[in-house]
Structure 1
Amino acid sequence: MNSLHALPRPVAARAPHSPLDAANAHAGLAGILRNHLLRPRYQPVVDISHSRIYGHESLIRGPVDTALHFPDALFAEARRKGLHPQLELASFRAGAQGFVQHEAAGKLFLNLSGSALIHYWTLWGDDMPLRLLKDCALDPASIIVELTEQDPLSEHMTELGNAFACLREHGMRIALDDYGVGNSNLQLWSEMQPDLVKIDRYFFNGIGQDDRKQNMVRAILKVAQYLGTSIVAEGIETAEDLAVVRELDIRYAQGWFLGRPEETLLTELAPPLRESLRARNPAPVSQRGAGGTAASLRVEAPAALLNKHTNDDVHRLFIEHKSMHAVAVVDGDNRPVGIINRRDFSEHYAQRYTRELFGRDQCSTFMNAEPVLVDLNVSIDQLSHVLISEDQRYLMDGLIITRDGRYDGLATGETLVRSVTEMRIEAARYANPLTSLPGNIPISRHIATLLEDAADFTICYGDLNNFKPFNDVYGYWRGDDMIMLTAEVIKRHCDPLRDFVGHVGGDDFVVLFRSLDWTERVQRIIAEFNEQAMDLYDDQGRHNGGIEAEDRYGVPRFFPFVTLGVGALTVTPSLCERIRPEDIASAAAHVKHKVKHGNLSLVIERYTGGALPQLSD
């Protein structure tokens, strides 16, 4: 969140400043800098996966009750006066000094614009990191410099890259702020290789109800995975938006729902928020099935208590449990706070005098305080993102398995890699070779999972009208294009966190909906497909409204455009006894048959038990 734009929410109206007050305040910008009158506010950045505060962003304020109190006016005036490098430097130092005075832990996000960064790099060269901090005792390794979006930087990439390299040599990390708006662009991301990218609040405002924003964020996350960059979600203001951020597996988040900018630093999350983050939601039904859950990776292993056990105790644990690759460290409530890798610990303990110096110290001495925590109900498929994460220490440290946020066991990185690989091989084995969508066996498994969950769902069975003559006239390659179009349109209108899309084969598709608005989604799928399918005909076919071809009896006749027909069957498992997946599939095929032979686009019925449904009124 850019300090130049981090405005507080509107407050109650008050009398406007008089022109004289405003003039005095504007004239006093140099005095604000000279007299060190800037005051930082600190907003927490939360590590969602570990349910804790990762760091704070310093957001600067001018003197209270002046026209330059809020950052937009303050920095706008600095730009007008040509003092913005000096103001940014003073803000940087004020944020760092305040962080030290509060004896704060974690990371500190400090903002600098590209022009200010290049200015001080040109002025100070390799001394820039130390000169930025001046006499502040803050460890540079705790600082994350946020590059704000105020300046177009495409013509200054070389100088900016040199400045970044200098900061990194001193232990500082780099974040790209407000990605997706302003001058934060893909070129900057690709060439500067920031450690973190903060996605602008625009993409998360109402994301829980906006499929378009969800898809845009997923596209950005694919870039982040490819470039090995961690992501911070900005502007999280509702529980619903936070839930989507969690399901997207974004690790870090910031926003008013998680903590507001305050003079004092928040040391821990409010208990209700912390508990809600630790109580990991079950895996979406679209991601459960043959791959299993993290419970299949779990092995029992004793843990060390943070304020009780010493390094000597950990040493004894490793001696007593020779197959144990690591030791989890937990707090008094049995919640994991870290992990100690066996090999690293043994190497430290083998060094001369280490045991004498550290043996009686708390077991946190050689602990990784950012372990990978995984709820035992999370699907293996969801864990596949760990394999391409920035932090690869899980390969040696392994994972900590939790149950309702509390320690439940360990898992090795090797086991995770093997399980994810087997899951993907299994998925590829039953996937349709053209669309890569799950085939008959995964579809049946998902139906079984939905029946076990005992929640209402809808199965939609769709196929294409007039597809065979289209395929005969234009050839199988154009027919494949029509099948791919069907798959793409269906996927585009389904929620991947709630719905499951399968390809039975040929032109037959199955969708298992848990989205409450499934009717509207199906209607959009039919309308969009029917419109785009016409583009796959040649000019004459589009002009005629279809094509001439032989029917199944060899008789030439006219066939109109290919269209999509869908038979929908709503299922309430609790109202039916001993339902089998094949019963549901057979009943859905029966509804699809009515669509086909009634020349309809959509038929909706309710499953009432047995192999075939009764007709609805």
Structure 2
Amino acid sequence: MSHANEPQLSPIWTLGEFSGTEHYTLGLPFRIPHDETSSELDAVLSKRSLSALFQPILAMDSGEFVGFEGLIRGPANSPLHSPCNLFSAAKQQGRALEVEMLCRQVVLERFAQLRLPGKLFLNISPDALTHPSFKNGQTLAFMDKLGIAPEQVIIEITENQPIFDFEAMRNALLHYRQMGFQIAMDDLGEGFSSLRLWSELRPDFVKIDMHFVQGVNLDPLKLQFLKSIQQIADSCGTQVIAEGVETEAELRTLRDIGIAMGQGYFIARPSPTPPLIAPPEVVQVLNRARVAEHPKNAVLSNLSVTAHKLLTYVDPVTPETDNDTVLARFAEAGNLHSIPVVENGKPVGMINRYSFIDCFAQPFRRELLGKKPCQQMMQTPLLVEKDTPVQELSQFLTETEGRHFADGFLITEGGRYLGVGTSQSLLRVITQMQIESARYANPLTMLPGNVPINEQIERLLGDSEPFYACYCDLDNFKPFNDVYGYSKGDELIQMTGRILHHACDPKLDFLGHIGGDDFILLMRSPDWQKRCNDALRSFAELSSSLLSDEHRWRGGYESEDRQGRIIFHPSPALSIGAVHIDPRRFESHHEVSAASARAKKMAKQIRGNSLFIEPRRQGAVLMPVD
């Protein structure tokens, strides 16, 4: 029970959620004088002066945005700009359903205009859900006119008041499910009867209230609550969405628990033109779980670094935005170098800070141009697809006109605006890649050396990932080096590295260069054995090209052995010793190294190019591959 002098918690209604991280405002209940409220609300409804924002929802397993929650703002510079105020005023005037209907239309229109991919999470109150204007098909007809199918929309129910007639709610939701909609339940853990509502309505998604998400990495009780919710969700086929994710540590903890999706400021803030892909810092957190796909410090992963890593999201303007607004944006953000100009999701220009301000600094330019559309001031941008390798982008920028290097570039996906990139960020990434390569790579092959190899093994063991450790070694390498010289010996080692690299699936397998003529493959590919045999056949074909015609015909050459005797040595061969690594039986990279070394020793006892599979794990020994 609250007292008169205590601050009250005023709910933010349904479509009025700010960011996925705020559901209550601490303070006295909102009140506007009746006449002022009525006139403000009349203006909003008559002019449809509402704007839609969208906040992405992230899938933890893929790192992709699977949908966007539609949010609402009232007119700027108005007491009703805040969604809390807007819906409180509407409730006071008995017009909550009317306002909610307008909000729904505005969100659907903007979603269709932006052509956002994935699902739209559309907030709908229980009262509106059972109202005849929604149930009789008005909203469905409106969606059909916009080209939005019910399968694209998830009805998100916010429990802002007690629900007593569960049977009526079940019947309503059954009706909408039959039409193709999916159902989400908002604010699990915050409302009046959340768990019963979950049990009665059986939603496809449940959103966990931010209270249990924020600080979960530091609070054992919150952690246990989320684990329990996830177990319930697993048992009934519901997907859990964690709201209010604001830190890297929170996201990492949620990922480790197995939460399906996340939403919050750390992932992306609400925006009129939301980003379509997660920022690099979010992707980095998620990729730590997929250990073999993006191994930390693995030099080969540098080959897959793309323009996505350079992306910074900047709210764009439209070609019709006036120059005074652009000038205000630059004045508010001193580090804002450029502003993209986007029309219906497609980038059409870029406004450079210094060129723009230099122009406006001239006499009378602001008076003449301030109210003019900014399209007169924009320049043709350089568009870079997010999958473009940074090495390719770097080479292009050094060969193109200097303006692009100075102005930066716009990063796109399928031609749609994602964010901006700068030459400074590109240089920073290229430099970091070079430092990482120099620090961890074997200097001869530029493959990961011992440090990243051991780290990768520890990650696989720590994540309980079974794999095959394949120790690769060249037979008769020293005699070859003695006969042909160290330069040819280096060429043979480099060729072996290329062959083994070609045998790997970069999404599943890892190749490292231990040193000298020794390599290690950490294989998770289902067809790992075929890949190894293909590598052996390639080695047999390509290594002979390094031999003279005589030595190729004889199958070897004569040289001194370690005792100084002249003996015949066969041509170099590749031996691979493989052992299955069950994380339940191996505790460290030291044990994996010892086991794979034993398998390699057995492989070298087989004449010619050979693959030996440790029989205690596999139950078979493969003979030489010719």
TM-score normalised by structure 1 residue count? 0.45
TM-score normalised by structure 2 residue count? 0.44
- Structure with greater Cα Rg: 2
